[in-house]
Structures are given as C-alpha cells and as structure tokens.
Amino acid sequence: MSKKLWGGRFELPTDKFVDEFNASIHFDKRLYKYDIKGSLAHVEMLSKQGIIHPDEAETIKEGLLQILEEIEEGKFEFKTEQEDIHMAIESRLKEIVGDVGGKLHTARSRNDQVAVDFKMFLKDMVNEVKMYLKDLMEVIVKKAEENLDVIMPGFTHLQTAQPILYSHYLMAYFQMFKRDYERFSDAYKRLDENPLGACALAGTTFPIDRFFTTELLGFSKPTENSLDSVSDRDFALEILSAASICQMHLSRLSEEIIIYATSEFDFIELSDDYCTGSSIMPQKKNPDVAELIRGKTGNIYGSMISLFTTMKALPLAYNKDMQEDKQPVFRALDDLMGSLKIMAPMLEKVKAKKENMLKSASKGYSTATELADYLVRKGIPFRDAHFIVGKTVKYAIEKNKQLDELSLDELKQFCDKIENDVYKYINVVNAAKNKNSYGGTGLESVKVQIENAKKYIKNL
C-alpha cells in the first residue's frame, strides 16, 4: 500500500529513488508563503460558496496559519517523500487538524495550485526587481548630473568616433534600464491573471467563485480557459526574457567599467570596496564585481533557454516536465537581483578621470566630422567635404599632429574656404557640447534628458 496522498490506487510503495527523482520539495519549498496564501483564499471561497462548512474552513485556516509559523520558525520538516511543497503542507495540515484537512483540496488540483503559487511569487519578484531598477536609474541620473563637464571619446567599433559628454554616455544606460523597467511592468500584466480554480485541466462542477479568490489574492482577473491556465508558462518565459535583456545591459555596462578601469584606458577609478586583489601580484586591483555581473549573464540566458526547451512541444495540459520550470527562474532572478543590487552602489562610487578622458577624446581625430560639417556650412557638398577631410587626416597622421594642431596654412592646402574660425568648430569640448539636436550629446540636450529622467523616476 502506498501512503501517498494520491496512493489509493497503488499497491506498491514508490521506489525510493523515484521518490527522490520525482521530488521538487527541495526547491519549491521556496513557494511556501504563496502556497499557504492560495490555500487560505481557496478555503474561504469554499466556505462562502457552501461547499464546505464555515467551521471546517476555520479549522483548516488555523491549521494553515500554524504551518506558516512552523516554516518561518524553521520547525517544519520538509520530507522528500512528500514530493512537493503542496503535498508537504497538506500532509502536515491533516496531522494538525485531522481528516477535515482533506477537504482543502476540494475543487482544486496541484496543477492550478502550482500555477497560482508561481504567479504570486513572480509578482512579488517583479516588484522587487523594479525597485532595484529604480535605485539604479536614480544613481545614473545623479552621476550624469554631477559630471556634466566631463568629455569622453564616443566609440564605434571601439575606435574613437566623436567626443561626447560622459553624462550622455551614462544616460544611454538610463534608457536601457527604463525599458527594462517597462518590460517587467508589462510582463506583470500577464502574471496578474489568476489560474486558481482551473483545477486539473477542465474546471469543476462545484459552484466555485473564481472572481472571489481573484480578489482575495490580489489578481486583476481570473484566467479565461482552464486548459490554458494549467499549461501556460509564458509568464515565466517573459520574466526570463526580460531578465536576460536586463542582464545583457548590466553586462555591457560591466564590460565598459572593466575596460575603462584598465591602465590602458584609465578613464575611471573603481572604489576599493568593489574590487579585490591578487594573491600573487601585489599591484593588482581587479574589477571582480563587474566581471561577475558579466559572467552571470550566461546563467540567466541559460535559464531562459532551459525553460524554452522544456516547454517546447509539450502537449496540453499539465506535464511533469513543467516542474523543471522553477529552478531556472529562481536562479535567474537571484542572479539578476544580486547584480542590480550591487551595480547601483558600485557605479555610484566610480570616479571619472576627467583629464584622461578629455585627453583621449582629443586624440584619434575625433573632430574630423566637425571639420567636414564646417566645410558643408561653407557650401561644399558633404561627400566632397568628407574626401577633403580624409586627405587632411592622412596628412595630420603623417605629421603626427591632431587636427587642431595644424596651422591655418596647412589646413588651407586642402581647402581654401577654411578660415580661422575653424578652430572653434574642431575643438573637442565644443564638438561635444554643441550637438544639441534632440537626443544628442550637447549640453542642453543632455540636460533635457536628465530632466525627463527625473520626472520619469518621480512618477514611478
């Protein structure tokens, strides 16, 4: 005879290794709070609908609250043979309140139970992620505001392209994290539909009130189709996708922190408390934190691919494969949350090395486009101007000079329309500060970006 909650039709007890292999309790115990919350709402609904007696409901509720306490105080014993958190709680309930505990699972299945638990858990996680994203956005805006006088080279192909404001560079990341914030908010909408009451797959003949549990559990509405409700894991995939994109942004920022902190670039100084040393090389100060954030990106992408692959071609409705949904999600969210949590204070303490950045921005002919634009203003078609400046740059490279180090006579060899006013156009600081087209790196434009960002954060 099997002693399982579902053991009625079984003659043999479950093989010991099958128990272990089948169990998810060692990881889904993390859902205990949500499981109890869901059960409390379910039992309340059963009572309201006259499906169970109010006294029975009261007894069950007390039992559930006692279990909650036991778990929170570390007194609850999680046993592998109870398979998952749902059955562990139900078994304990029966121990505490006796046979009436068996009434809790009326008009419910573990299939809708696990879906509702997972969704409630993810709703909380999304709110937490959004809180960390907000902190990070705040830090970025603060840094951008404090560093408006710092000029750095902007790159394409990691080759010097044009001078930009360091604040403009920082605000680029603000935009990325803002989109991440919105992606999580959007995914939340799909999390906000209550699957409880879908039962195993088909709904129930009991007169349940799904709108009531929806209200009690804080969902915006019940799901529309019971079959879909228990087989849907899109919501978890959306979270993993949003997490992957967000971590990709964090990894790009980390990569730049790592490069910019090298002695070769020497654009920034990382704070000691966010770096580690080497056990052999005394001079080292390594950007381990940024590297780890970059590294964790692999775990998060892996988690996303893992669940996509698990879900691929699964027939409707619930399949046990879907038990494999939780670990990747837990891992991805832990990694994302950790990365967000540490990025904000690390970034806040990054010091920009203004002189070095400016020096670097002045090299690499970063204002060659400015010279071409100058010629265009003098009536020369842009393509011709581009060619003239190309030749000028070639000459400057041969002379080992920057463009603004060429004399007016030298410049005039390439185009006699060049006058003395050219120097103010090819000045690195001016080149960066004056690009005030909407969204450009100009000082006025960046100030607008910062103002908009502040308004955005304030309304979150």
Closer residue to ligand ARG in complex, CB, 56/232 = 232
Is 111 near ligand ARG (CB under 6 A)? yes
Is 232 near ligand ARG (CB under 6 A)? no
Is 119 near ligand ARG (CB under 6 A)? no
In the complex, minimum distance from the CB of residue 22 to ligand ARG, in angstroms, rounded to a whole number: 9
Instruction: Read off φ and ψ for residue 161, nearest 5 degrees.
Output: -115, -70
Is 392 near ligand ARG (CB under 6 A)? no
| 329: its two tokens | 């999600």
CA-nearest of 14, 23, 106, 22 to 60 is 106
Is 34 near ligand ARG (CB under 6 A)? no
Which of these segments, 38-46, 107-115, 274-282, 404-412, binds ligand ARG (CB under 6 A)? Answer: 107-115
Active site residue 278: yes
Which of these segments, 205-213, 217-225, 318-326, 431-439, binds ligand ARG (CB under 6 A)? Answer: 318-326
CA-nearest of 330, 309, 331, 311 to 320 is 311
Selected binder of ligand ARG within 318, 365, 374, 414 (CB under 6 A):
318
Selected binder of ligand ARG within 61, 92, 103, 110 (CB under 6 A):
110
Is 306 near ligand ARG (CB under 6 A)? no
In the complex, minimum distance from the CB of residue 212 to ligand ARG, in angstroms, rounded to a whole number: 23
According to DSSP, the β-strands at 151-156 and 159-165 are antiparallel
Selected binder of ligand ARG within 67, 114, 165, 187 (CB under 6 A):
114
In the complex, minimum distance from the CB of residue 105 to ligand ARG, in angstroms, rounded to a whole number: 12
Cis peptide preceding 317, ω within 30 of 0: yes
One character per residue 320-339, x = contact with ligand ARG (rule: CB under 6 A): x-xx----------------
Closer residue to ligand ARG in complex, CB, 67/139 = 67
H helices present in 201-265, as ranges: 210-216, 226-231, 234-260
Closer residue to ligand ARG in complex, CB, 110/249 = 110
Q: Each residue of 407-441: b (16+ CB within 10 Å) or e?
A: eeebbeebbeebeeebeebbbbebbbbbbeeeebb
One character per residue 409-428, x = contact with ligand ARG (rule: CB under 6 A): --------------------
CA-to-CA separations, 8 to 11, 13, 108, in angstroms, rounded: 8, 11, 18
Is 236 near ligand ARG (CB under 6 A)? no
Instruction: Read off φ and ψ for residue 316, nearest 5 degrees.
Output: -70, 150
Tell me which of 2, 220, 271, 278 is the catalytic residue.
278
Which of these segments, 63-71, 90-98, 106-114, 247-255, binds ligand ARG (CB under 6 A)? Answer: 106-114
DSSP per-residue codes, 143-163:
HHHHTTT-EEEEEETTEEEEE
268 membership: H or E segment, kind and range: strand 268-269
Q: How far apart are CA 170 and CA 175, in angstroms?
A: 9
Chain centroid to CA 343: how far? 12
- Positions 58 through 97 that interact with ligand ARG (CB under 6 A): 84
CA-nearest of 43, 32, 124, 30 to 86 is 32
Active site residue 2: no
Which residues are near ligand ARG by CB under 6 A? 24, 28, 84, 110-111, 114, 318, 320, 322-323
Residues classed as catalytic: 157, 278
